[in-house]
Structure formats: structure tokens, C-alpha cells
Structure 1
């Protein structure tokens, strides 16, 4: 079976869509499927087929420059195609795109991919090629970009959805409140809930106290500090991650509470300046991107993770699932999709998006009650192992792929 995936980014570029797509393609190859991930050429590069490129599990939280073996020994493939136009994560792919699709048994689009999604859907309809998609999120932006996004969803998105034989979503909770809500209602048989997975060989509970001490020492974090963590992008594309909310919350917390902030981007200097302005810089440890093998130890050095995203551009929360798999509680914003990863009052605490006071109170509550913190962490671990399984995710994809390969178009 030959399956072609299209994504607006691919490693070593950062971005949650590309990271998830790469993980899926790698695991499909491990199952014996001939799977390829097609993405735009990186700036300054030529179109090429790459084997065994670096993989990072979180958007901007890890350094993707080193190959990760978490998905298994088989090397999946990335084909980079030139783009006629590329702006941010939007790109109109060209090159050998049609010939690549012509060889495929299944086309799998990771959406949004403005500039290419409509071309893929039209080609698959014309050639009667089996076409599925994963709806990751609704893109958001400032007034001008948001206007363009809204126009695209009105004019192009309905046709793309109708061309698809199946639409995978990380949670129905998010999908039913998103721009595809009307499609979910009118075509429930085509919409399949399929949560993303967590690599439990990399993300597991603390077993060696020396690991945590060594990680803290390496990054200048006091061993006895109460440590709250954040993992995520620090660029404009991930401004919704809510770092300013965490920094504001830190101002009201006890001086023995420190924050570990993992990730990088062009807004990091702004956040560091904000920490200095608020007088919390000495307790906020910006460590940049980490190598994949260091992200697990980073989680295990934390007492809890905060996930303070501010709007619906956050659709799932893979970082929150990874932290849960490490047995630590998560305090997250009460957003559709996210609340299926973090269960309020069971695996962590949900707070109103953008509310620094509520976030601070939730952090203080968990640090004041070690038994509650431990109970939430244990429940988070069980929830992650039960619900966020890559093997189950790939099983669901393969079931649909096989049915489409034998069914009439």
C-alpha cells in the first residue's frame, strides 16, 4: 500500500501538524506501509527526498536537529516539493506533486494547508483517488489574516471536506465547536475521532531521583524549588500558548516557586523581558529547545505542567498528554479539545483562558496539597496510557485505508 501524506511543515521545521504527520508516517513505515510525507521545500533548500530526518514530538519544545528513534528502527521518508508561493505555513506546492499523487493508493491531507489542500482535493476528485484528511485545528491570526482564514473557510473548505472519504479529528469535543461543525453534523459517518498518541518509551514516570536532580542542576534550577513547567513554541505562530499568563501568575506565587520554560522562537526575548519587568526573571528558567532525549527528563523534573493557551487555535494538547504520561498533573485552559486531555478535578485543573489569577490559585492549590498533586498525577498517567496510544491511532488509519482500497470510489 502506497500512502502519501501532505503537511504544511515537516521536521526539522517546527510545528505540531508536521510533527504529528511525521510520527504517523514513521509508524506506518514500521508496519510495512510505503508511506511518504510531502511538505514544502525549506527556505534555501532544493526539493529532495529525505530518509530518516530528525523528529521532535512537540512544536518548538525540542530541537529537531537530531534523529529520534522513538518511532522504531525503520526510516520513514520526506519528500520536499518546491512551492510557487509560500507565506508562513501556507504554500502552493508544485514540482512532481501530481506524479507523486498518481502513484499513491491513498492520499492523506493534514489540514489546514492553505494553498495546497484545495489542489489535493480537486486532483483526488478528478482521478477518483481515495482521499482522507486529518483536521488538526482552526488557524487564527490578527484582523487581516483572520479575515483571509474566514473567507477560505467559506469558499474553499466545504469542497475540501466533501471530497474527503474520511475526516480524522483528535477530539469530537473540538470538532463540534470548530469551523467543521456543520460537516460533523451533516456527515457524522465520515468523521472519526482518533486522538494522537504518546511515546511511552520516552515519556514515563520518575523512577530515578538522580535524573531530576541532574536536570535541575544543569539548568540552574534549585533542587528544592517547587517547579512548574511549560513546553511550547515562542514564536508568533504560537503566541496563543499563553506564556504571558504564566509570567503574570508567577508574580503572585511564593518565591520558592520556579518556572521551567522549554521552547524557543522570535518572541522569547519578549517573554524574557516581560519576566524582568514583573520581577520574576530569577525564578523563570528559559532553557530553549531541548534534544528529544532531554524532554522526558525535563517533564520528570517538574512538579506540574501548565498549559495556559488562550484560544481555539489550541485543539488538543500533545504536551499535556506527554506530561500526563510522565505522571505529573497538568493545569490547562478550559478549551474545547484540551479538556479531553486534562480532566478537571481528576487529572489536573482547568482554568479560564487568559486568567492569570485563576492560574496562580490553581498552582498554589496543588503545591499546598501534596496528596492531591500525587493523586492527580497518578490519574493523569492512567488516562494517558488508556487514551493516547500511537498504535491505536495507526490501527484506526489502517482500517480506513484498507476499506477504501477495496471499496468502489
Structure 2
């Protein structure tokens, strides 16, 4: 891509050193820069929409060829306004909360009538939409967007960063005395269903007393104290490690520490945790929702289970616990699947092709 192409990215506040939130957006922009994209950032906290100063500063000081917003609302809505004011083409990448909706879980801006109207209008008035999963693609279609304006382009991971590796003594000590380690790296929020995994682990321990099993929970969130209390009440505290938030640079070690990763989400836009785990050669037991369906091939690189099904999670864990041959095959298949389908370089190349096509028009 030629250097004179200027892309204005409208994004949430991106993470600083060690932070995790929106790191996938930051990594994508960094890789695009390395490919020659002249990128400019308009970052803001959605709770403070008074960004006119930043808009004027950026638009007046650079020549923008394309506006690329992440999340249809509020960043895409702002991009839609700029598209009209400055007659620039607009791309919106949708991620989950902006187009998915679940009233029971209190999730999604489009669960509100006014939110649905705003998001639908915003998406109809952009040039292209990038959907990170087939579920997101279908959600855009349900909002009235023509299929030829939505591009399904799964997120990817750096396969050199996330790969099978040997652990140093710090991580080996965590699994000392255990022959089966289960990892969940999701926030302690209702939509991620961690309570179902905790209860499944309790049943697993009761039924497999000859095995020493460890459950490791990585991630912050509002329900972390509730889950600590649940673990205590179930009497499994000594075999559950709740570690809280972990710097992203350490996550590859935690994936490699585990035998299997469980992603018990009730709703999921893409599921980057799944991609990272597979790249590290670890099978995933995941809920059959959202972007997890694009990544887990049932019986090949993991298992799919109905969301919220405690017994199903337990049964799949038992299968891998008692069949080391199958576990090893799935670990190999996980890495093979990631290499073929989840390489971030392929996504970057596809985005650059899209930029070129738009500028050429």
C-alpha cells in the first residue's frame, strides 16, 4: 500500500503498556502501519462525546482518504457524521456489543429501539462493513444491510507470539501436583458464563477423584467476588486459582500452562481468547454461540456445548481428561487450524486490499 493513503481511525481509548482492553484494535493498527498505512487516531471515551476539538485538529491538519471506525456506536456514528461533512468514504468494523443484542443478559445497544435505529442508520450510510464473525455478518443483514456491503473477515492472532512454547519455572510451579489443568481467560461478567464452568468443575472433581484437576481463571470483572464466594461455598477453593487481570504479554504462557481452555460465553462477537488458545495448540471447549462457531470444529480442535449447559461442559472435560491420545490430537489440530484460518497477516492483507479498492474508486 502506498504511503500517501491516509486512514483516520475512530476508536475507543486504546490500551497502554500491559493493558488488555481493545488490544486487538491497537495491534491491527500497528500492523497496518508496518504495511505502509499512514494512520491517524481519533481516540475517545464513549462516556465523553465532546470531541469537537480533536475532530477539528485532526481533519484540518491531515488529508484523510478513508475513515475507519471500530464499533458502529458511538465511533461509527461519529464517522458517519464526518463522512457527510468531509465527503470521505467510511468503513465500520463491528465487534459485538454494537450489533448483537440480548435483552435477558442486558447486552447490546440494539436491544433498545433507539439504539437499533441509530446503528441501522449508521451502517446503511457507510461504504463497507467488516464483520469479525458470521454471527456479526448475519446481525448486519438482519439490520437491513445489503450483503454485498458486508465483508466477513475473522480476527486473527500473531502466530509467532501465540504458539506452543516451553514454560519456565514460574509457570511450571502453578501446575505442580496436578495432572489436568483447565484455563478460562474471560472477564467475570454475566455474559461470559464463568459460574457454569465453576459448577461443572465441581462435578468433574466429584466424579474423577483419582485425578488432580486445577481450574485457573484469568481476568477481572464485576463478578469476580461472587465467583470467589461460589468457589468457597462449593468447597473447591484449593483447586481453583482466580488470578484477576493479567498483562497481555503473559497470556501465551497461561495458554501453554493449560491442557484445555474453556470459553463458556452466553454471547460472543468473535472470541479472541479462542483464537489465541488454538494458536498455542490448546483445544477449546466453547459455547455454540457467535464467533466461537467459526473457530471450534466440534471433535477436531475442541468441543462445542450448548450455552449454560453445566453437564455438557463437565462431560467434555471428562472425555479429554480420560483420553490423552485424543487430547494430543486435538492440540495438534488446534495449531493447524490457527495456521490456516487465524493468521493476523491474512486479515491485514485483506483490509489493505479493501482500502486500495475504495481509494481507487
TM-score (norm 2): 0.88
- After superposition, residues 161-240 of structure 1 pair within 5 angstroms as 161-176=123-138, 178=139, 180-182=140-142, 187-206=146-165, 208=166, 211=167, 214-217=170-173, 219=174, 221-234=175-188, 238-240=189-191
- 1 CA distance for matches of 2:243 and 2:162? 19
Q: How far did residue 327 of structure 1 move?
A: 0.8
- 1:158 Cα deviation after fit: 2.0
- Map 1:283-322; keep pairs closer than 5 Å: 283-311=239-267, 314-322=268-276
Identify the match of residue 379 of structure 1 among 312, 333, 356.
Answer: 333
Which of 77, 80, 84 matches 1:125? Answer: 84
Q: Per-residue deviation at 1:119?
A: 2.7
SS in 2 for 1:285: strand
2:198 paired residue number: 247
- Please tell me whether residue 366 in structure 1 is matched to residue 317 in structure 2: no
Residue number among 260, 269, 286 corresponding to 2:225 in the alignment:
269
> Which secondary structure does the structure 2 equivalent of 1:253 belong to?
helix
Residues 106, 401 of structure 1: 8 Å contact kept: yes
Equivalent position SS for 2:269: coil
| Pairing partner for 1:109 from 59, 69, 73 | 69
Q: Identify unmatched segments of 5+ residues in structure 2.
A: none
Q: Which residue of 2 aligns with 1:45?
A: none
- Out of 36, 39, 43, the position equivalent to 2:43 is 39
C-alpha spacing 1:214/1:118, structure 2 compared with 1 (3 Å): closer
CA-atom RMSD in angstroms: 2.3
Q: In 2 relative to 1, CA 230–98 (structure 1 residues): closer, same or farther, beyond 3 Å? A: same
Kindly state the Cα deviation for residue 112 of structure 1 after the two structures are TM-superposed: 3.8
Q: Distance in 2 between matches of 1:351 and 1:130?
A: 41
Asked if 1 retains the 8 angstrom alpha-carbon contact of 2:72 and 2:119, the reply is: no
Rounded Cα–Cα distance in structure 1 between residues aligned with 2:85 and 2:151: 25
Of 286, 297, 302, which aligns to 1:343?
Answer: 297
Partner of 1:100: 58
**2:348 matched to 1:397?**
no
Distance 1:249 1:123 in 2: 49
Partner of 2:116: 154
**1:269-289: CA deviation from partner (whole Å, max 9, x where unpaired):** 221111101111111111222
Distance 1:92 1:259 in 2: 44
Deviation of 1:95 (Å): 2.2
Query: Unaligned 5+ residue runs, structure 1?
Result: 42-82
Deviation at 1:126, TM superposition (A): 3.3
CA distance in 1, matches of 2:308, 2:117: 32
Q: Secondary structure of 2:229's match?
A: helix
Matched, 1:258 2:217: no
Q: Deviations over 1:91-147 (max 9, x none)?
A: 453322144245321110111433x43232022023220110101113557677768
How many pairs align? 346
CA distance, structure 2, for counterparts of residue 358 and residue 304 of structure 1: 15
Pairs within 5 Å for 1:12-161: 12=16, 18-40=22-44, 85-86=47-48, 91=49, 93-101=51-59, 103=62, 104-114=64-74, 116-139=75-98, 140=101, 149-161=111-123
Provide Cα deviations, 1:32-81, integer angstroms capped at 9, x if missing partner: 2221332225xxxxxxxxxxxxxxxxxxxxxxxxxxxxxxxxxxxxxxxx
SS at match of 1:113: helix
